[in-house]
């Protein structure tokens, strides 16, 4: 049985009738690994994440995306999510009228296809909220409504822990967070991480890597992965920027 969880094969993608954004992306993520995609603004980092989930605003012109041995290139976004892919957003949406608890309970039910056991669910939710230093009353507040930037990012990690996907894609999770919040978010990622799942972190800086050690760091510039390395590569970019990798 293969250890490969996600494989992107020569993916080219753009917005219909507009310029191409991704230009031959190749990426393989094995179970048990943490990968980081770094790059300057506009390089295609978030587009790569959206491509995996098959966001309909983008149009694939060639290539394949294989997840857990299955071709998911053309599946609908909700079908892909049910296969076990989770994506946190750079700017999480506010959803009035739906509490954090109800949102997570419904999402978990949809993913597992089984009724949620309320007592176990609430106990699990309480435990994770304590670990993430979230106030217990937030469980009964509308999803992200009135939450600070840091609270929204913690709430995304809470969703990750409760839903427990096979692959977590974290888009700019460290954006706008202070040092303490970054440590808390990193702790949540470490709590999630096992030998059977994987994490893909998308970022343009190295803040979150102060508390996490990735297996691979990929530099994405102008829609292409131009360099792959270890955490040392991220340190080099922090010191010198992306200028040497720009075409």
CATH code at position 236: 3.40.50.300
- Extract long-range pairs of 106-111: CB within 8 Å, 24+ residues apart: 107/159, 107/162, 107/163, 108/162, 108/163, 110/82, 111/81, 111/82, 111/84, 111/163, 111/165
Element (H, E) at 118: helix 118-131
pLDDT for position 6 = 98
Q: What is the pLDDT along the chain (247 residues), one digit of tens a residue?
A: 569 999 999 999 998 777 899 999 999 999 999 999 999 888 999 999 999 999 999 999 999 999 999 999 999 999 999 999 999 887 788 899 999 999 999 999 988 888 889 999 999 999 999 999 999 999 999 999 988 888 888 999 999 999 999 999 998 877 767 788 788 888 999 999 999 999 999 987 788 888 889 999 999 999 999 999 999 999 999 898 888 887 6
Give the structural domain span for 108. Answer: 4-245
CA angle 208, 181, 5 (to 5 degrees): 45
CA dihedral 178, 203, 105, 190 (to 10 degrees): -70
Helix (H, G, I), strand (E, B) or coil at 55: coil
pLDDT for position 76 = 96
pTM, 2 dp:
0.93
State how many domains the chain has.
Answer: 1
């Amino acid at each position: 049985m293969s250890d490969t969880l996600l494989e992107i094969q020569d993916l080219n993608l753009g917005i219909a009738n507009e310029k191409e954004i991704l230009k031959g992306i190749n990426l393989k993520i094995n179970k048990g690994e943490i990968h980081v995609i770094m790059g300057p603004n506009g390089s295609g980092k978030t587009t790569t994440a959206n491509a995996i989930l098959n966001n309909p605003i983008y149009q694939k012109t060639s290539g394949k995306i294989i997840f857990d041995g299955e071709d998911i290139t053309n599946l609908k976004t909700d079908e892909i999510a049910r296969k076990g892919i989770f994506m946190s957003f750079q700017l999480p949406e506010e959803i009035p009228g739906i509490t954090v608890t109800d949102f997570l309970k419904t999402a978990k039910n949809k993913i597992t296809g089984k009724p949620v056991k309320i007592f176990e669910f609430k106990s699990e939710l309480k435990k994770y909220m304590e670990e993430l230093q979230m106030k217990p009353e937030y469980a009964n507040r509308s999803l992200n409504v009135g939450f600070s930037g840091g609270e929204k990012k913690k709430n995304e990690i809470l969703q990750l822990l409760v839903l427990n996907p096979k692959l977590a894609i974290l888009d700019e999770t460290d954006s706008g967070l202070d040092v303490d919040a970054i440590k808390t978010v990193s702790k949540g990622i470490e709590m999630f991480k096992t030998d059977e799942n994987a994490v893909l972190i998308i970022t343009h800086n190295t803040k979150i890597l102060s508390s996490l050690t990735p297996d691979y760091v990929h530099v994405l510039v102008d829609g292409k992965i131009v360099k792959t390395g270890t955490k040392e590569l991220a340190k080099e970019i922090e010191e010198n920027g992306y200028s040497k990798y720009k075409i």
